[in-house]
């Protein structure tokens, strides 16, 4: 498990997704967007609005069975996107690049963008906004709820 946590709020996700849209604007226009479920759905909605793109497809890759990591399996292919020509693939995060490599094989001509990227997965995407260390676990707003957290100084072994 990761040793560090990075909490992303709804406001921050919106700002970072909008920053990604600014970066992607000059590379478009795009015929459509392929959102990687589930984490890419919200950034895709924000970026679709900012790029004025109304055609949204999805792709679902399953890599975990409960808490056990397995081989990636395409649960729902992005049929409408063909080989990806003129399409934008969006996800919240690229971690190790495992999912990204599967999707790249499905859509080799698409532009791949993520809001956040870790070093191991960074080479598998074309565009991202924020890099975090490999040992950081990002807590997205749909995975968390507000609660008390002890100060860092009290959580570090002395």
Q: Where are the domains of the chain?
A: 4-155
Residues with a known catalytic role: 91-92, 95
SS (H, E, C) the chain: CCCEEEECCHHHHHHHHHHHHHHHHCCCCCCEEEEEECCCHHHHHHHHHHHCCCCEEEEEEEEEECCEEEEEEEEECCHHHCCCCCEEEEEEEECCCHHHHHHHHHCCCCEEEEEEECCCCHHHCCEEEEECCCCEEEECHHHCCCCCCCCHHHHCCC
pTM of the model: 0.86
137 is in an annotated binding site: yes
28 is in an annotated binding site: no
Topology of the domain comprising 4-155:
Rossmann fold (3.40.50)
Q: What does each of the 158 residues of the chain score in pLDDT, given as a tens digit? A: 447 899 999 999 999 999 999 999 999 899 999 999 999 999 999 999 999 999 999 999 988 765 667 788 999 999 999 999 999 999 999 999 999 999 999 999 999 999 999 999 999 999 999 999 999 999 999 988 888 878 888 776 65
């Amino acid at each position: 498990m990761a040793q560090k946590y990075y909490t992303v709020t709804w406001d921050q996700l919106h700002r970072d997704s909008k920053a990604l849209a600014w970066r992607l604007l000059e590379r478009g226009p795009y015929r459509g967007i392929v959102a990687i479920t589930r984490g890419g759905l919200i950034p895709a909605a924000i970026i679709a609005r900012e790029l004025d793109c109304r055609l949204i497809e999805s792709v679902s890759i399953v890599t975990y069975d409960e808490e056990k990591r397995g081989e990636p399996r395409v649960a729902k292919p992005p049929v409408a996107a063909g080989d990806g020509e003129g399409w934008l693939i969006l996800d919240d995060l690229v971690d190790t690049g495992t999912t990204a490599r599967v999707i790249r094989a499905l859509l080799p001509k698409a532009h791949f963008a993520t809001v956040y990227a870790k070093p191991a997965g960074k080479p598998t995407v074309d565009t991202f906004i924020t890099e975090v260390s490999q040992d950081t676990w990002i807590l997205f707003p749909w995975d968390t709820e507000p609660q008390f957290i002890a100060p860092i100084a009290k959580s570090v072994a002395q």
